[in-house]
Amino acid sequence: MKKKIVSLLMCGALALSLTACGSGNSDEKKDNGNLSKAKYKVGICQLVQHDALDAATDGFKDALKDKFGDDVAFDEQNAQGDSATCSTIVTGFASNKYDLILANATPALQAAVSATSDIPIVGTSITDYATALEISDWNGSTGINVTGTSDLAPLDQQEDMILELVPDVKKVGILYCSAEANSKYQAEQIEKYLDEDKVEYKEYTFTDSNDIQSVVSALAEDCDCVYIPTDNTAASNMTIVNNICQPAKLPVICGEENMMASGGLATLSISYYDIGYKAGEMAADILENGTDPASMDIAFAATTTKKYNKDYAEAIGITIPDDYEGVEAVAE
């Protein structure tokens, strides 16, 4: 009897363990019915859920659905901001021998490259592929099984925006997550332009969402303007940024529109849906025509637009030039 009870307990523990492992890849979605019945099977690994990355994923899926209809099926999984979970997700895609992987954000791309050198990988929401993949002799394409689209808006124009909106700026606080390589790249580029204009700045980095509040609080006491690059951890915590910076009447210039609408002042905006859709068109070319991703140049947003958060501008008492497009703040 004791053996039977022990056996039952062990089975129960194993079942719970398997359930826990399965729940690590949350927000899993399999579209268009059974994956096994589709002509093309595509795995989607998205680093974290926020509006920009969600829009890129939607654009990617729409492009492939427009091209292939029900002949394409997706295994869509969200890593909830955890790089280790990205690795687990894409290793599963590789084991299942999917036809193509979408890596949405830099940690997802890096995990996918580590998981497979054979399955085509299309990235999106990647700021700089050379930085993400540690390619020193960059010529526009990766030379490996990777291509995709970049979310980089011109950084010199973003620095121009800081000076345009805060002409008397004394010190810019540059806020980003130290774990995101592409955020560091953007910070370094912005710093070069600030150096040219002799504007003082200081980096304020956080390791994850647990210390962002204390870091932003320190920044608010020391700076009179904030710049945040296209940083996924910051994007997921813009409410915290807003709750500190808006009462301090700090202009917050963001790397992308959804961050700005959730708690910033202005941005040089691109459409994440559009770069996702372009990534989907590139994926379709690979799937249908056998085009080698290694030779496909990374694509960029076709247009940029100056936008500002009307509620934030009113709250901090700043007048925005007429060539900016006003957007409503996102309710949290």
The whole-number average pLDDT for the span 272-291 is 97
Specify the CATH superfamily of domain 155-269+305-327: Response regulator (3.40.50.2300)
- Residue 188: the pLDDT is 96
- Residue 330: the pLDDT is 77
Residue 18 scores a pLDDT above 60: no
- Please check whether the two domains, 2-151+272-295 and 155-269+305-327, share a CATH topology: yes
Residue with tokens 């805060």: 166
- Residue 12: the pLDDT is 44
The whole-number average pLDDT for the span 258-280 is 95
Pick the CATH number of 2-151+272-295 from 1.20.1730.10, 3.90.1150.10, 3.40.50.2300, 3.40.50.300: 3.40.50.2300
- Residue 5: the pLDDT is 39
- Residue 174: the pLDDT is 98
pLDDT in tens, 148-190: 999 999 999 999 999 999 999 999 999 999 989 889 999 999 9
Residue closest to 234 by CA, chosen among 161, 183, 274, 269: 183
Q: Cβ atoms within 10 A of the Cβ of 218, count?
A: 14
Q: Please state the domain extents for the chain.
A: 2-151+272-295, 155-269+305-327
What one-character DSSP code corresponds to residue 293?
A: G
Residue closest to 72 by CA, chosen among 90, 98, 95, 49: 98
- The percent of residues above 70 in pLDDT, for the chain, comes to 89
- Residue 331: the pLDDT is 63
Model confidence band, residue 14 (pLDDT cutoffs 50, 70, 90): very low
Residue 7 scores a pLDDT above 80: no
